[in-house]
Amino acid sequence: MIATDITFINPMGFHSRPCAMFSKMAKKYHCVVRLVNDEKEADGRSMLALMKLGIVYDSKITLLCDGEQEKEASEALGQYLSSLVEEAG
């Protein structure tokens, strides 16, 4: 299992469009993808579950990837989460 800590820096928060893109990306990998915010955890393949996490600007989140393609998923999804700040700028 790979756990990656990320500080979410998009001022708009993790709203529907980035949640949808994240879940679509997560479905491409043969591994379990989870996001953790505070004490809430969600399936990375479910847009609605991700939105319920309530991720806002400056949230400390953890990306968990476990399985066959955990390394590839962790790198790609972590990079996507880090790049979301560019959309707001």
Residues 6+ apart with CB under 8 A from 28: none
Q: Which of 15, 24, 30, 71 is catalytic?
A: 15
Cα 14 to the center of its chain, rounded Å: 9
Is 30 a known active-site residue?
no
Which residues are catalytic, by number?
Answer: 15
